[in-house]
Amino acid sequence: MSSHKGRFLSFFAIILLFLPAFLPAQLQPVDYERAAELRTKFQSLALNIVDSSGWIEKTPRFWYRKSIEGGFGFFIVDAAAKTKAPAFDHDKLAAALAGVLEDKVDPKNLPFRSVTFVDGEKAVHFDVGEWTYSCDLGSYTIKKEGPARRGRRGGFSMWERGPAPEAASSETKSSPDGKWEAFIRNYNVYVRSKETGEETALSHDGSEGNYYTFASLAWSPDSKNLAASRLQRGYHRVIHYVESSPADQLQPKHHEMEYAKPGDALDIERPVLFHVDTKTRTEIDSALFPNPYEMSNPVWRKDGRAFTFEYNQRGHQVYRVIEVGSGGTPRALVSEEAETFFCYSYNKYRFDVDDGKEIVWMSERDGWNHLYLYDRETGKVKNRITKGEWVVRGVDKVDEENRRIYFQASGMDPKQDPYFVYGYRINFDGTGLTTLTGGDGHHRLSYSPDMSWLIDTWSRVDSPPVTVLRRASDGEVMMEVEKTDITELVKAGWKAPEVFVAKGRDGTTDIWGIIVRPLDFDPAKKYPVIENIYAGPHGFFVPKTFSAFNRMQSLAEMGFIVVQMDGMGTNNRSKAFHDVCWKNLGDAGFPDRILWHKAVAAKYPYYDIGRVGIYGVSAGGQNALGGLLFHPEFYLVGISACGCHDNRMDKIWWNEQWMGWPLGPEYAAASNVDNAHRLQGKLLLIVGEMDTNVDPASTMQVVDALIKAGKTFDLLVVPGANHGIGGEYGHRRMVDFFVRNLLGVEPPDWNRLERKEK
Global confidence as pTM: 0.93
Average pLDDT, whole number, for the chain?
93
Residue 184 domain-assigned? Answer: no
Residue 303 domain-assigned? Answer: no
End-of-domain residue from the set 151, 166, 194: 151
Residue 138 domain-assigned? Answer: yes
> What pLDDT score was predicted for residue 32?
87
Residues of the chain with pLDDT under 70: 1-25, 150-166, 168-169, 754-758
Q: What DSSP assignment string belongs to 488-509?
A: HHHHTT--PPEEEEEE-TTSSS
Residue 37 domain-assigned? Answer: no
Domain count, the chain: 2
pLDDT by residue (tens digit) across 129-156? 999 999 999 999 999 999 997 643 333 2
Q: How far apart are the first and last CA of the chain?
A: 49
CA 257, CA 261: separation in Å to the nearest integer? 12
Residue 715 domain-assigned? Answer: yes
> What pLDDT score was predicted for residue 29?
77
- Cα-only R_g, the chain: 30
End-of-domain residue from the set 84, 116, 151: 151
Residues 6+ apart with CB under 8 A from 307: 218, 220, 227, 298, 299, 300, 301, 323, 324
pLDDT by residue (tens digit) across 294-344? 999 999 999 999 999 999 999 999 999 999 999 999 999 999 999 999 998
Residues 6+ apart with CB under 8 A from 619: 534, 535, 536, 643, 644
Residue 125 domain-assigned? Answer: yes
Residue 297 domain-assigned? Answer: no
Closest CA to 572 of 534, 537, 608: 537
pLDDT by residue (tens digit) across 64-115? 999 999 999 999 999 999 999 999 999 999 999 999 999 999 999 999 999 9
C-alpha 38: how far from chain center: 26
End-of-domain residue from the set 151, 177, 204: 151
> What pLDDT score was predicted for residue 289?
98
Cβ 468 vs Cβ 480: under 8 Å: yes
Residue 14 domain-assigned? Answer: no
Exposure pattern of 538-571 as b/e (b: 16+ CB <10 Å)? bebbbbbbbbbbbebbbbbbbbbbbbbbbbbbbb
CATH of the domain at 729: 3.40.50.1820
CA 384, CA 367: separation in Å to the nearest integer? 14
> What pLDDT score was predicted for residue 25?
67
- Percentage helix, strand, coil for the chain under 3-state DSSP, each rounded to 5: 20, 35, 45
Q: Can you give the residue range of the structural domain that contains 83?
A: 50-151
C-alpha 507: how far from chain center: 30
